[in-house]
Amino acid sequence: MKLLFNLLSLFLLTNLAFAQQKLVPKTENTKTVISTGKTNSIYYNLTKHKPVSVTIEGPGELIIYNRTVVTTNKTHSFPFILKYNVDGKQIKTQKIPKKQKSQRSRLKNNTDKAPTKAHKIKIKVPDGKHNYSFYRQTTKQQVLSRFTFVKNTKLTWNELKPKSAKQVILKDVKRKKEVTYFQISKKETFAFKTSKSTSKVRLFFRANFNYKMLEDCVNRLQIKIDGNPTVFKIVSKKSSRLENLTHPKLIPGALEKIYIDIPLNGVHDVEVSLKDENASALIRVFATATNLLNTNSNEKFAFSY
């Protein structure tokens, strides 16, 4: 069982982001090295007229660390406006508040002045290649900035539609849209084979209610990977916006999303069914080949509702 739990983990998919990448500007002004402990960081001097520009391939998040230089007898900087434009067109501004002089960081080659604590700004970068140019505005203070980027990975899910599974048509009464689910029971399974590059599988699960059922519906979902079964208990409520066009006497349950971690070593046979007799449910299955080993996902052996 311990081995099986290592193979099959159910987790809540959260922000998918790789580690921060340091950016070297395409155009720059003078450089300044700031030392914090044993770490040296290169900052770039911002001016009013000559920009410091970085080019990024989105989607992701651009992070700018801003410091102001003050004389050693000063305790803090003054507020100022940071200006930047996107792709040479859209001009935006950001107010930088006053910051205390840093007690941990210093200018590597200047003992008469000191940097303030860093002020961090985050900018969401859309899909595609984009250029960001930065200026200081409304201040004569020396402003230093460095840039990092966090690349986001969007999953591409491909729906699996086996020919042998029984189709059920549901209708969203608010959006007037129809969607196809597949029925499972103890005898009716949704079976598929993963490829060598498949890393994740996503299940959309809906219970089947009849009109006599007034309480929550409890199902035991069974997932087999290469014949090894694991059973999970799912408690569902009725959906308030869906109706079953194929079986009008049945009411669909609210949507439950289940994410399955697939072993990466080779091809695997997966079967999804219910454990109990006299019960049925509806599912849709999606697979992705995106490798998520380097992401900040919150893994857990449970469902997230």
pLDDT tens-digit map of 205-242: 999 999 888 889 999 999 998 899 989 899 999 998 99
Specify whether the CB–CB gap between 283 and 203 falls below 8 A. Answer: yes
pLDDT class of 138 with cuts at 50, 70, 90: confident
Q: Determine the structural domain holding residue 163 and report its residue range.
A: 2-14+156-299
Indicate whether 304 belongs to any domain: no
Q: Is the domain of 127 the same as that of 195?
A: no
Q: Whole-prediction pTM value? A: 0.52
Residue range 57-101, pLDDT digits in tens: 988 899 999 999 999 999 999 999 999 999 998 899 999 999 999
Q: Is residue 270 part of a domain?
A: yes
- pLDDT of 90: 84
For residues 146 and 172, state if they share a domain: no
Residue 267 has pLDDT above 90, yes or no: no
Same domain, 103 and 27: yes
Query: How many other C-beta atoms lie within 10 A of the C-beta of residue 238?
Result: 17
Distance CA 239, CA 208 (A): 10
pLDDT averaged over every residue in the chain: 84
Segment 150-189, tens digit of pLDDT: 987 666 788 888 878 899 999 999 889 999 999 999 999 9
Instruction: For residue 119, name the pLDDT band (cuts at 50, 70, 90).
Output: very high
Domain boundary among 106, 131, 151: 151
CB 143 within 8 A of CB 46: yes
**pLDDT at residue 198 above 90?**
no
pLDDT confidence band for 287 (50 / 70 / 90)? confident
Where does residue 277 rank: exposed (0-12), middle (13-18), buried (19+ CB within 10 A)? exposed
Q: Based on the structure, what is the number of domains in the chain?
A: 2
